[in-house]
Structure 1
Amino acid sequence: MRGRLAILGVAAVSALTVGACGSDEEPSGSASNSGTATTEAKAEAGGLIAIITPASDNPFFKAEADAADAKAKELGYETSVASHDDDPNKQSQLIDTAISRKAKAIILDNAGADASIGAVKKAKDAGIPVFLIDREINETGIAAAQIVSNNAQGAQLGAQEFVKAMGGKGKYVELVGKETDTNAGVRSGGYADVIGQVPDLKEVDKQSANWDQQEAFTKVETILQRSKDIDGIIAGNDTMALGAVAAVKAAGLTDKIKIVGFDGSPDAIAAIKDGGMQATVLQPAALIAEMAVEQANQLITTGETGQPEKQSIDCELITAENADDYGVFAKKS
């Protein structure tokens, strides 16, 4: 199978759990990022940092928003926290508000890889650096940083555990995230890289549930009404996996169908402990959000981040054996 993707500009997540900050070492061949609009100016810490994420009722996005908020306040900044609800128009309005309030930086989990390019450029043109977390955009040279989980590596971890849980054979369903989100395609590709090498595992259905729990429940319920001859479900995030868990439970098939998710959410960890899920893949949302704020502070106070624009952090596998070691999107200290 394909080897792990290289970590760009930061240490692996196992090292990050100590301090939640980037490595002082730069990878060979990667130039450090001097920011997008403030290289000529250095300032004292302070002022506004705007934090914009998708829906805050999703525990993953809430965790990253809370972590960024706490870190910014710790470093002496005021904060505004808002959700764009995956609506590019709302995101653009929130960027406009941050610009009008003369924010020192924007921490953004964006509303679409293509749809967000204009909003990020608008902030850059206004002299406000944007630090993207969790999701990339399909253009470089606009954001001050794009800090994401190593989704391909994490998906391969999850797929390996899924193959193990399935005993290397059976019929399975894949639930995919939003088509506009690059993470959805990368994770699905990582799953395929591993599962595709196991000839006795047969994919019988693949549907997008748009990262949504209720949509996942409805789609899995419909699939199981057509046929209960399903042995496993692998989902692109924990929210969809939990919808699948509920549908499988309602059908009385919990002991038969193996489910693997992705995110490392507290609810997924609880489902693993209860036997409803077999595994999830932790992407360190809180650590990545803290890194973004720290790099924003570095840019504001020194004129450069000292890191490349593209940065990728390794994920970790959570199973019943180590579930007690993890908390809210982070390994317990």
Structure 2
Amino acid sequence: MKSKRHLVSLAALSAVAVLSLSACAGGGSTGGSTNASGNYNISFIQGVAGDEFYISMQCGAEAEAKKLGVTLNTQGPAKFDPTLQKPIVDSVVASNPSAILVAPTDVTAMQAPLKAAASAGIKVVLVDTTVDDPSFATASIASDNTGGGKSAFDAIKQLNPNGGKVLIMATDPGISTTDARIAGFEESIKADSSFNYIGVQYSHNDPAEAARLMTAALAKDPDIVGVFATNTFAAEGTATGVRQAGKQDTVKIAGFDAGPAQVQDLRDGTISALVAQQPALIGADGVDAAVAALKGETVTKNTQTGFQVLTLENIDTTGKDYVYKSSC
């Protein structure tokens, strides 16, 4: 990005790397298809195809599957939409895999189809997102999203020590991860009277819509000082809207996720901080959980992986390994 004239030191934040907890896996009867040698067939259903977060998760899952000698097949919907993901889940269940790794696109809409998969004897491992009642799942593996939302507020606060108006640019309600990030951010900002929280805008996971909403928000409240963008597409669109309004020097954006476009916005000065997850680790842990469950081993039911706050100060050093991949 451009020079970071207004970037207050965030070195302390970059130390907020929540070390990932190791994920064992297991529990329950073996089910689904295997060949004679025990080569389990695992299906990974992404939240959306083509997103660097899920590509990075796929890379981690593929590497772990290769190491363990199991087969991994990956597919995902064109949009983060339960009406597009459910037919994929139904088709995968009909093929009777040994296990499914899945990032549910809605906490309610994906409950029944995934529970049906588990009832059919398929091990279901929830990765990244979850559902209303995940008790049927073998394991759930995700980032500390609430903590990440709190760290995003800390970043904005350090950049705006005098407070001011702040909003959130999100995707859609009903997505477990972004709902948790919003909750963490809101908990922190509501405890600080120097900030005026003006609410959440929902961009439907569409960068163009996020840009439009951001432009409109700045026209209504030109004195906005900070924005928390809750995922890759929200951050991309928010950055575009801020650039279009010529507000790069006054509006500080803390984004969640660290795809190549977001990192470039960080380098260019449009985004001030990125909360980067560990999607490759989530994918690897998901495969470990599925295989251990199929072998009848003990499972860690819920695992939280860590995150790292990326800034210009650490993007080329301790933060470089947290940048998401566009291909494996």
TM range (shorter): 0.7 to 0.9
1:308 lines up with 2:300 in the alignment:
yes
Q: Within the alignment, does 1:65 sit opposite 2:58 as a pair?
A: yes
**In structure 2, which of residues 201, 214, 224 is the aligned counterpart of residue 220 of structure 1?**
214
Report how far residue 262 of structure 1 moved: 0.9
Note closer, same or farther for the CA distance 1:315–1:148 as it changes in structure 2 (3 Å cut).
same
The structure 1 residue matched to 2:274, chosen from 276, 280, 286, is: 280
Residue among 116, 124, 128 paired with 1:122: 116
1:113 touches 1:180 (CA, 8 Å); kept in 2? Answer: yes
Residue 22 (structure 1) aligned with residue 23 (structure 2): yes
Is it true that 1:53 corresponds to 2:31 in the alignment? no
Aligned pair partner of 2:172 in 168, 178, 186: 178
What is the TM-score normalised by the length of structure 2? 0.84
Question: Aligned partners of 1:43 and 1:138: how far apart in 2?
Answer: 37
Aligned ranges 1:103-142 → 2 under 5 Å:
103-142=97-136
The 1:98/1:246 distance shift into structure 2, 3 A limit, reads same
Residue in 2 aligned with 1:270?
A: 264
1:147 paired to 2:141: yes
- CA deviation vs aligned residue, 1:177-202 (integer Å, no higher than 9, x gap): 31120222211111112222221211
Q: Is the 8 A contact 1:49 1:103 kept in 2?
A: yes
1:75 aligns with 2:68: yes
Shift of 1:285: 0.9
Count residues with an aligned counterpart.
Answer: 306
Which of 86, 89, 96 is equivalent to 1:95? 89
Q: What pairs with 1:182-261 in structure 2 (closer than 5 Å)? A: 182-261=176-255
Query: Displacement of 1:205 after TM fit?
Result: 4.5
Find the aligned partners of 1:288 and 1:132 in 2 and give their Cα distance. Answer: 10
Whole-angstrom distance in 1 between the partners of 2:166 and 2:135: 40
Gaps (5+ residues) in structure 2?
Answer: 1-16
Q: Is the 8 A contact 1:45 1:75 kept in 2?
A: no
Distance 1:145 1:36, change over 3 A: farther
Cα shift at 1:327: 4.1
Q: Which has the higher contact order (CA 8 A, sep 6+)?
A: 2
The C-alpha deviation readout for 1:230-259, integer Å capped at 9, x for no partner, is: 222111123212211111111211111111
Which stretch has the larger CA shift, 256-265 or 79-88?
79-88
Other structure's SS at 2:256 match: coil
Looking at structure 2, the residues matched to 331 and 100 of structure 1 have their Cα atoms a distance apart, in angstroms, of 32
Answer yes or no: is the 8 Å Cα contact 2:292–2:299 preserved in 1: no
Q: Is the 8 A contact 1:265 1:328 kept in 2?
A: no
Segments of 5+ residues of structure 1 without an aligned counterpart are: 1-11, 24-31
**CA positional deviation for 1:126:** 1.5
Matched residue SS, 2:174: coil
Shift of 1:313: 1.9
Per-residue CA distance 1:44-84 (angstroms, 9 max, x = gap): 54142111012222211222123223322332222321113
Residue 310 of structure 2 corresponds to residue 318 of structure 1: yes
Which residue of structure 1 aligns with residue 9 of structure 2? none
Is the contact made by 1:38 and 1:303 (CA closer than 8 Å) also made in structure 2? no
1:330 Cα deviation after fit = 5.8
Q: Following the alignment from structure 2 to structure 1, what is the Cα–Cα distance between the partners of residues 101 and 320? A: 23
**Aligned counterparts of 1:70 and 1:269: Cα–Cα separation in 2:** 24
Contact 2:52–2:324 (8 Å) recurs in 1 = no
In 2, Cα distance between the equivalents of 1:160 and 1:151?
14
Structure 1 distance, partners of 2:324, 2:208, is 28
